Chain A
Amino acid sequence: MRKCSLNSLNAVFEKLANDSALYMPVDGDKGADYKKWEMGDELSSALNTNRSAKDFFFPQTENLMEFKVSGKEIEVIDTRDEKEDFVVFGVRACDAKSFDILDTVFLSEPCDSYYANRREHATIVTLACTRPSETCFCNVFGIDATKPTGDVTCWKTADDMYFEANNEKGKAFIEKIADLTEECDSKAVEEQQAKTKEILKKLPLADLKTEKFGKDKTAEFFDAPEWRELSTSCLGCGTCTYVCPTCQCYDIKDYDTGHGVIRFRCWDSCMYSEFTKMAHGNNRLSQLERFRQRFMHKLVYYPTNNDGVFGCVGCGRCLAKCPISMNIVKVMKALGGNDGE
């Protein structure tokens, strides 16, 4: 394990930013969001960013290819370029886990080259949580907020930033900032972890139960009467899917620039009425069906296909952002995740 004093953290960032693009949470008017680091920017002390870190690998919109059309003829132009290396600093444990979930979708055969390219060029530097909030429930899904995954894990104490590499990519990162850091023991980190763990235990959502959900539970929950009341107020705005680090549904659209046609992909949402609309009909006509799809996917369908791993990381963004205060926690409780509540 290595460390540097917080006073010299900017020197570390400067060194990193000289080598490759460096992104980290920076405070803005409406809270923290990832930003490309420039001299003068300070690492946010906020618990998490408004938008999740999925944007780095699965951006909200991205161009896939272009077409030149002349008369009856079409030329397909592969516009993909090899990405450059970049570092994402300060990723929380929940978002770090979301990458594993996105990987199962985009890196499974046939591999999505757009996602894979960004993923390969990124170094993920995670930052342990010290002040988890009342909307946090990552522990429910077996995530350790005091030791997030990623290529490198960092811990920020009152005076120092600690670094530990988790793989070869992480070792290369540590090597890069070796001059600015010193070898150290992990005592301060362990003390901090113990303190944070005490807070995690006392969080209001710490005892949310997941046992009832998971693999092959479709029949148990699909026709549950609770879906009606849960979905009644849903506006179908899709905010939950946009802020969700694991939602990955997308649309593919064409845009005629006047000089050619750009085919792009953009985030889509199973909460939207047109998501499944076909020329001859729509298989999910009501908001109840669409609402159910989103939560069944995270709690049952995804686990069925992925050895019981849930499609939620407990980041709590949907709890904070839903305009009608509906969220996965309420769904889990209503469907029997917490008996007696």
Chain B
Amino acid sequence: MNNRSEVLIPKVGVITDIRIDTPDVKTFRVVTPDGKKAFDHMPGQCAMLSIPAVGEAMFSITSSPTNTEYMEFSIKKCGCVTEWLHQAQVGQQITIRGPYGKPFPVKEVFEGKDLLFVAGGIGLAPLRSVINYCRHYRDKYGKIDIVYGSRSKEDLVDYAEIITEWMEEDGINVHLTIDREQECWDGHVGFVPNYVKELNFDTNKTVIICGPPIMIKFTLEGLMSLGYDKTQVYTTMELRMKCGVGKCGRCNIGSKYVCKDGPVFRCDELELLPSEY
């Protein structure tokens, strides 16, 4: 029987580093017990992480595939599995399986294009993988704009990397915003959708967007009013998942299974699905 492969049976992973990003987001570095990457992936793909007797949940892989040493997961504390992970220490073993889902079309579509990333809160986690992938193959991509917003300065995930690396790089423009005025913040204040409109981007960009559903909705409206078409916009979805391979039925929307047909969708494809996501 053991010669039959079985995707539901995970590998063991070890948490080798934990970075505190915000009051409720930590980034976990994961490798196999012999110090290797558990598997290869493409930007936008996900992995099932679990702690036996606690549960298993799907997370986007926030590190870039170009990182050959380890994987990273930026995880917000909001349920059983995530709360357990947030109290875990370095050296803790977990289980990992994947990669799951369709990645962002970084080669097929994004190459040669100017890219606009729009993220809200923890929504930066899946986009960070794409951003760092594009930075790694910098010549293949045009100008990169990143609009990132969160409730407060403290809630900006990966803030250190944004300041020390992304903002320092030629051809990358980072536009940060927070919801309300705050001491020691001289950047933009206001919601992401409004900021995107204010920035009045050229409509030749390919947009990659992730964040709370309400932010995505209003940002899309803003982009349309700037003259964008839905075929230029990609997003990534989140639904309850158990198997990760389109069999357990949980993430079924219309004829699609978000775990295998998504989580990345082009916005015009999303429109064809029944509106229950």
A residues bordering B, Cβ < 8 Å? 64-65, 67, 69, 72-76, 78, 80-82, 105-106, 108, 110-114, 116-117, 218, 222, 248-252, 254-256, 261, 263, 265, 268, 270, 275-280, 283-284, 289, 293, 296-297, 300-301, 304-305
Contacts of B91 in A (CB 8 A): 72
Nearest-CB distance from B47 to chain A (Å)?
Answer: 15
Known pairs A248-B247, A278-B238; A116 contacts B274 (CB<8 A): no
A218 contacts which of B4, B6, B78, B274 (Cβ < 8 Å)? B274
A305 contacts which of B4, B253, B255 (Cβ < 8 Å)? B255
Q: Which of B54, B56, B93, B273 has the most CB of A within 10 A?
A: B93
Pair B79/A278 contact, Cβ less than 8 Å = yes
Q: Which of B6, B242, B276 has the most CB of A within 10 A?
A: B6
Pair B255/A113 contact, Cβ less than 8 Å = no
Considering the chains assembled together, what is the distance between the CA atoms of A170 and B102 in angstroms? 41
Pair A278/B1 contact, Cβ less than 8 Å = no
Is B11 positioned at the interface, with any CB of A under 8 Å from its CB? yes
Considering the chains assembled together, what is the distance between the CA atoms of A106 and B249 in angstroms? 11
Contacts A276-B239, A279-B78, A305-B255 known; 12 new A-B pairs at CB < 8 A: A73-B93, A76-B10, A81-B1, A105-B247, A106-B247, A248-B247, A250-B242, A250-B249, A254-B56, A279-B80, A297-B249, A304-B254
Considering the chains assembled together, what is the distance between the CA atoms of A80 and B5 in angstroms? 11
Q: How large is the interface on B (under 10, 10 to 19, 20 to 34, 35 or more residues)?
A: 35 or more
Pair B53/A80 contact, Cβ less than 8 Å = no
A-B CB contact pairs (8 Å), 19 listed: A67-B52, A67-B95, A69-B53, A74-B52, A74-B94, A78-B1, A110-B5, A117-B1, A218-B255, A250-B243, A251-B248, A254-B52, A261-B52, A279-B78, A279-B80, A279-B82, A284-B276, A304-B255, A305-B255
**Secondary structure class of chain A's binding surface, majority of residues:** mixed
Closest chain A residue, CB of each to CB of B78: A279
Considering the chains assembled together, what is the distance between the CA atoms of A112 and B80 in angstroms? 27
Known pairs A80-B1, A304-B255; A277 contacts B95 (CB<8 A): no
Contacts of A74 in B (CB 8 A): 12, 52, 93-95
